[in-house]
């Protein structure tokens, strides 16, 4: 491991906008940091926090929380947020499956899933962030009319997500098998992570689904 990465791992938890899912009460710590009752959007597997940062700039009246298990990845986004004085952006070091235990009271407005790991081996498909197990987690975390935004360049993962969403009887608000072949005016689809920019240079096709829950979906 390089010296720079060691430095980031050692220092990321000292940043005032970064919280640790293993602390006693990170939910309260995060809400104290935001210091308001504004709705919160979370970005899972946020990496460098491209969505968290850009949406926080676009919507100062809302709160955004980037979540990733890798502290070294979060470090860059957290530093940028502090430099830009984005007090409505914060970061949490945590696995997605820990979130229901962390947030026992707080509900979220939206969940962003930008290019999650496809876990292509069948034995690891339960770890896909669009598996039936994770979809149940999202329902527990979202407000009643909350939405999930999912982007991927992996056709298999896209089809896997569609299958699980449809089998659960969820509402699909928007979907695209070739996002940038269509006219898009939505900031959620127009933000491009650094990984996405690399994928586009390689000529990969980006896919997108926005879905949500109703009273008849997932008991």
Identify the residue whose tokens are 């939910």.
Answer: 27
In the annotation, is 117 catalytic?
Answer: yes
Percent of the chain with pLDDT over 90: 79
Could you give all domains of the chain from N- to C-terminal order, each with its CATH number? 3-212 (3.40.50.150)
Scanning 37-193, the segments in alpha helix (DSSP H) are 50-58, 71-83, 99-102, 132-141, 155-167, 187-190
Q: Predicted confidence band at 9 (pLDDT cuts at 50, 70, 90)?
A: low
182 compared with 38, residue with greater pLDDT: 38
Residue 7 in this model has a pLDDT that exceeds 60: no
Please give the C-alpha separations between residue 215 and each of 7, 11, 100, 144, 219, in angstroms, as whole numbers.
Answer: 47, 44, 20, 8, 9
Q: Distance (Å, rounded) from C-alpha 107 to C-alpha 122?
A: 32
The predicted pLDDT at position 2 comes to 52
Q: Predicted confidence band at 132 (pLDDT cuts at 50, 70, 90)?
A: very high
Q: Distance (Å, rounded) from C-alpha 109 to C-alpha 94?
A: 19
Is residue 144 within 8 A of residue 74, CB to CB? The reply is no
Identify the residue whose tokens are 């009319």.
Answer: 145
Q: What does the pLDDT look like over 170-211, one tens digit per residue?
A: 999 999 999 998 866 688 888 998 889 999 999 999 999 999
18 phi, psi to nearest 5 deg: -120, 135
Q: Give me the sheet containing 18-20, strands edge to edge.
A: 18-20, 89-93, 63-68, 40-44, 108-114, 142-152, 207-212, 171-176
Query: What's the DSSP call for residue 153?
Result: S
Q: Predicted confidence band at 83 (pLDDT cuts at 50, 70, 90)?
A: very high
H or E element in which residue 196 lies: helix 194-201
Collapsed DSSP state (helix, strand, coil) of residue 7:
helix
Whole-number average pLDDT of the chain: 91
187 phi, psi to nearest 5 deg: -65, -30
Is residue 94 within 8 A of residue 27, CB to CB? The reply is no
The predicted pLDDT at position 219 comes to 43
Collapsed DSSP state (helix, strand, coil) of residue 191:
coil
Percent of the chain with pLDDT over 70: 92
Q: Kindly name the residue from 25, 117, 145, 214 that is annotated as catalytic.
A: 117
């Amino acid at each position: 491991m390089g010296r720079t990465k060691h430095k980031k791992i050692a220092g990321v938890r000292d940043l005032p906008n970064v919280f640790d899912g293993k602390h006693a009460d990170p939910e309260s710590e995060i809400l104290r940091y935001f210091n308001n009752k504004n709705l919160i959007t979370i970005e899972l597997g946020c990496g460098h926090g491209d969505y968290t940062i850009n949406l926080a700039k676009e919507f100062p009246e809302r709160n955004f929380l980037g979540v990733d298990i890798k502290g070294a990845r979060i470090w860059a986004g957290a530093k940028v947020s502090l430099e830009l004085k984005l007090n409505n952006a914060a970061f949490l070091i945590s696995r997605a499956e820990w979130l229901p235990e962390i947030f026992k009271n707080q509900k979220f407005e939206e969940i962003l899933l930008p290019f999650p790991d496809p876990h292509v081996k069948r034995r690891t498909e339960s770890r896909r962030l669009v598996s039936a197990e994770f979809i149940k987690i999202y329902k527990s975390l979202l407000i009643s009319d909350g939405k999930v935004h999912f982007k991927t360049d992996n056709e298999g993962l896209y089809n896997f997500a569609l299958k699980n969403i449809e089998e659960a009887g969820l509402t699909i608000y928007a979907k695209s098998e070739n996002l940038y072949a269509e006219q898009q005016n939505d900031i959620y689809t127009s933000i491009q992570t650094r990984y996405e920019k690399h994928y586009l240079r390689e000529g990969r096709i980006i896919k997108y689904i926005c879905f949500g829950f109703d009273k008849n979906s997932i008991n």
